[in-house]
Amino acid sequence: MLIIVAQDYDEMSRKAARFIAAQVLLKPNCLLGLATGSTPFGTYQELIRFHQEDGLSFQNVRTVNVDEYYGLPASHEQSYRHFMQENLFDQIDIQPGNTHIPDGLTRDPQTYGEEYDELIVAMGGIDLQLLGIGSNGHIAFNEPGRYFSAQTRLVDLNKLTIEDNARFFESEDEVPRQAISMGMKSILGSKRILILASGAGKAEAVREMLEGPIDPMVPASILQLHPNVTLIADKDALSLVQPA
Ligand code: GLP
């Protein structure tokens, strides 16, 4: 895994945005895998700036998001569809039909998950997958467990994840208890992965991802199996990692 050190969140965001912009320039119709949360927010702000000030075009870019809360309609303020529209899609020239996010209201998550994975294959596979990392080591909503799950599916959220994400809701009770999450097969099937981490709260998860054994209790550790992963992290997130 290539590790790029940033001084702080803003520098991480700038470096990540340049990485993604380079992918878009090299392949204007690339398929980007996208994530939500506090971590990629600054990266999306930078991409919007590249679009508005430097003319970076997303006209032919296609996107597929890694997760969505189960039970939230797209119109809900905290749905990941809403996050993506507000913080990226509505401010760039991407075609709405080219953006894909799991449907949090699907009545048949099993079939839906299979179709989501098939769609990714039909679109030629993900060229660049952007990821954050949960403080418990999750990627997308693949929570720590006894085994790695390959398929996109309905998942139960871990107690720590519910607590972490309560900051976006009025109260912890309002955080959905389930989500549709892309599975490891589609994530690891990406040609290139860019994972971001910022802040001391991610330091332990980053250390375990990089130095620990591959263990389903640390879902991000499976990225050690992928040949083309770049981690852009700030100093606080890297504070527990042994210097090479
Ligand atoms: C969330 C999302 C993940 C995200 C992670 C970290 O719950 N499901 O896709 O990467 O947890 O979130 P944040 O960037 O807000 O710390």
Which residue intervals of the chain are DSSP H helices?
Answer: 9-26, 38-54, 80-87, 109-122, 159-165, 184-188, 203-211
Please provide the DSSP assignment of 47-94 as one string: HHHHHHHH----TT-EEEESEEETT--TTSTTSHHHHHHHHTGGGS--
Distances (CA, A) of 89 to 85, 97, 184, 199, 215: 5, 11, 25, 26, 35
What average pLDDT does the chain have?
97
In a mutational test of the pocket of ligand 1, which residue from 13, 72, 80, 138 has the highest number of ligand atoms less than 8 Å from its CB? Answer: 138
Taking alpha carbons only, the member of 34, 189, 66, 65 closest to residue 125 is 189
Residue 242 has pLDDT above 90, yes or no: no
Taking alpha carbons only, the member of 1, 235, 9, 39 closest to residue 133 is 39
Handedness of CA 139, 137, 70, 118 (dihedral sign): positive
Look up the pTM and report it.
0.97
Residue owning the nearest CA to atom 9 of ligand 1: 140
Residue 27 has pLDDT above 90, yes or no: yes
Taking CA 235 as the corner, what is the angle to CA 234 and CA 237, rounded to the nearest 5 degrees?
70
Task: Round to whole Å and give the CA distance between 193 and 89.
Answer: 21
Report pLDDT for 86: 98
Helix (H, G, I), strand (E, B) or coil at 194: strand
pLDDT tens string 175-185: 999 999 999 99
Annotated catalytic sites, by residue? 67, 136, 138, 143
Structure tokens at 77: 């303020």
Report pLDDT for 163: 96
pLDDT tens string 72-107: 999 999 999 999 999 999 999 999 999 999 999 999
Domain boundaries, the chain: 2-227
Helix (H, G, I), strand (E, B) or coil at 233: strand
Span 60-64, mean pLDDT? 98
Report pLDDT for 243: 78
Q: Give distance in angstroms: CA of 35 to centre of ligand 1.
A: 8
Span 45-50, mean pLDDT? 98
Was domain 2-227 assigned CATH 3.40.50.300? no
pLDDT tens string 105-153: 999 999 999 999 999 999 999 999 999 999 999 999 999 999 999 999 9
